[in-house]
């Protein structure tokens, strides 16, 4: 088994409430908890598989035992099939088992695995095909399955595809020549919108140098939207920097801005919507899943897709740089 140690931030252990999901008097039942987001813009794909558990004892104590939440090493076979739109199978790959590290917490921190494609499999994932996930317990024969399409990689429609010395680009969030109410500028960002994409999130990374030694970054995360554009407000940009950079004696210098656009599928949109805090008087909502267990019933988890696009090395206009230096009060020069 190829073992590596890494921090996996894309997946979390999510377990359903015991109120209605399980019958405490029922016989033991194997339930796989599956989470995976295929992203064809990445070189490798990852699938997380855990056990759901319930018992007569303390649930927190049981969760601290690795066997309660993790399948043993090498017991699972995890495969992805490439399908034509009519669901005919044209190819398949088996995922490799990787050991991951988990920080200390309520759940056991040892024997955690993810299942990953190889970098050589990157050409296996293309937008016009369907992908079927099959997870099989080689001892019990229990299975979990799901199917998803891929979200095509979007591109920015009002920005260059690449920033170079010969092809520079600058954002301007401030113009002192306008009236007070108009000095803070708005930058509209547009991108291609494809049918499989349902939700969009833009992250703006602000890179700067501190004391001529440390290169630091801040992520200005924009809200989820369902349209193919978003406005970056200049006043909010400077407020974000002011609230997230310490007011101390450090000397700072702006380096660049980077844009990261993440596009999620309809299944991912539904999952996020149903797991967001409720704003109504009705607090209980049905859990979302598109995992089917071996008995043909709903499983637990999500198998879906997203895509990511990045544009690195954006500069700031001289008027915005002047505001950073003279008005922001965070020792930029």
Q: What is the pLDDT, as a whole number, of residue 57?
A: 59
Contact 13, 98 (CB under 8 A): no
Nearest to 34 by CA among 95, 92, 78: 78
Q: What are phi and psi of 197, to 5 degrees?
A: -80, 135
| Residue 98 covered by a domain | yes
Q: Domain check: are 316 and 186 in the same one?
A: yes
Q: What is the pLDDT, as a whole number, of residue 120?
A: 95
Q: What is the pLDDT, as a whole number, of residue 181?
A: 84
Q: Domain check: are 190 and 316 in the same one?
A: yes
Helices (H) and strands (E) in the chain, counts: 5, 16
| Residue 12 covered by a domain | no
Q: What is the pLDDT, as a whole number, of residue 49?
A: 94
Q: Does residue 169 carry a pLDDT above 80? A: yes
Q: 96: domain CATH number? A: 2.60.40.10
Residues 220 and 241: their CA atoms lie apart, in Å, by: 9
Domain end, chosen from 116, 150, 184, is at 150
Residues 260 and 253: their CA atoms lie apart, in Å, by: 22
Domain end, chosen from 88, 115, 150, is at 150
| Residue 304 covered by a domain | no
| Residue 24 covered by a domain | no
Contact 281, 292 (CB under 8 A): no
The string of pLDDT tens digits covering residues 172-207 is: 999 999 998 899 999 999 999 988 899 999 999 999
Q: Domain check: are 184 and 139 in the same one?
A: no
Name beta bridge partners: 202.
Answer: 261
Residues 21 and 33: their CA atoms lie apart, in Å, by: 13
Contact 49, 115 (CB under 8 A): yes
List the Cα angle 263/112/30 in 5-degree steps: 90
Q: Domain check: are 191 and 53 in the same one?
A: no
- The secondary structure element, H or E, covering residue 124 is none
Q: What is the pLDDT, as a whole number, of residue 62?
A: 54
The string of pLDDT tens digits covering residues 251-272 is: 999 999 999 999 999 999 999 9
Rounded average pLDDT over 103-119: 72
Rounded average pLDDT over 5-19: 33
Q: What is the pLDDT, as a whole number, of residue 53?
A: 63
Q: Domain check: are 319 and 186 in the same one?
A: yes
Q: What is the pLDDT, as a whole number, of residue 64?
A: 55
Choose the weakest-confidence range: 70-84, 102-116, 173-187, 208-222: 102-116
Residues 324 and 176: their CA atoms lie apart, in Å, by: 13
Q: Domain check: are 94 and 193 in the same one?
A: no
Q: Domain check: are 320 and 226 in the same one?
A: yes
Contact 186, 232 (CB under 8 A): yes
Domain end, chosen from 81, 116, 150, is at 150
State the chain's mean pLDDT as an integer: 85
Q: Domain check: are 64 and 142 in the same one?
A: yes
Reported confidence tier of residue 65, pLDDT bands at 50, 70, 90: low
Number of domains observed in the structure of the chain: 2
Reported confidence tier of residue 2, pLDDT bands at 50, 70, 90: very low
**pTM (2 d.p.):** 0.81
Q: Which of 6-10, 21-25, 310-314 has the highest mean pLDDT?
A: 310-314
Residues 37 and 326: their CA atoms lie apart, in Å, by: 44
Contact 270, 304 (CB under 8 A): no
| Residue 20 covered by a domain | no
| Residue 6 covered by a domain | no
The string of pLDDT tens digits covering residues 44-60 is: 999 999 888 655 555 55
Q: Domain check: are 235 and 320 in the same one?
A: yes
Torsion angle, alpha carbons of 16, 19, 23, 28, to 10: 30
Q: What is the pLDDT, as a whole number, of residue 138?
A: 95
Q: Domain check: are 129 and 192 in the same one?
A: no
| Residue 287 covered by a domain | no
Q: Does residue 12 carry a pLDDT above 50? A: no
Q: Domain check: are 45 and 132 in the same one?
A: yes
Residue 132 lies in domain: 32-150
Nearest to 314 by CA among 184, 173, 185: 173
Rounded average pLDDT over 286-309: 88
Rounded average pLDDT over 62-68: 60
| Residue 119 covered by a domain | yes
Q: What is the pLDDT, as a whole number, of residue 176?
A: 96
Q: Domain check: are 185 and 318 in the same one?
A: yes
């Amino acid at each position: 088994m190829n073992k590596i140690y890494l921090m996996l931030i894309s997946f979390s252990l999510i377990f359903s409430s015991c109120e209605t999901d399980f019958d405490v008097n029922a016989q033991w039942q194997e339930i796989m908890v599956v989470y995976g987001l295929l992203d064809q813009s990445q070189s490798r794909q990852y699938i997380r598989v855990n056990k759901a558990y319930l018992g007569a004892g303390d649930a927190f104590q049981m969760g601290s035992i690795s066997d309660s939440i993790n399948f043993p090493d090498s017991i699972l076979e995890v495969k992805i099939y490439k399908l034509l739109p009519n669901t005919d199978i044209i190819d398949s790959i088996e995922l490799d088992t990787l050991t991951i590290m988990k920080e200390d917490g309520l759940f056991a921190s040892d024997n955690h695995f993810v299942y990953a494609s190889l970098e050589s499999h990157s050409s296996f994932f293309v937008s016009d095909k369907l992908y079927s996930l099959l997870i099989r317990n080689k001892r019990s024969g229990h299975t979990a399955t799901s199917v998803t399409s891929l979200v095509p990689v979007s591109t920015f429609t009002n920005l260059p595809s690449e920033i170079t010395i010969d092809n520079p680009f600058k954002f301007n969030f401030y113009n002192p020549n306008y009236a007070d109410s108009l000095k803070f500028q708005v930058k509209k960002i547009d991108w291609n919108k494809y049918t499989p994409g349902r939700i969009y999130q833009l992250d703006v990374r602000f890179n700067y140098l501190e004391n001529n030694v440390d290169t630091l970054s801040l992520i200005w995360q924009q809200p989820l939207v369902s349209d193919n554009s978003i406005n970056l407000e200049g006043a909010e940009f400077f407020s974000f920097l002011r609230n997230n950079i310490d007011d101390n004696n450090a000397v700072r210098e702006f380096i660049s801005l980077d844009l990261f656009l993440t596009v999620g599928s309809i299944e991912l949109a539904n999952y996020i919507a149903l797991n967001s805090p409720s704003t109504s008087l009705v607090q209980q909502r049905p859990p979302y899943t598109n995992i089917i267990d071996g008995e043909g019933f709903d499983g637990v988890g999500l198998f879906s897709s997203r895509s990511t696009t990045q544009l690195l090395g954006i500069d700031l206009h001289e008027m915005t740089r002047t505001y950073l230096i003279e008005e922001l009060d965070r020792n930029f020069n």
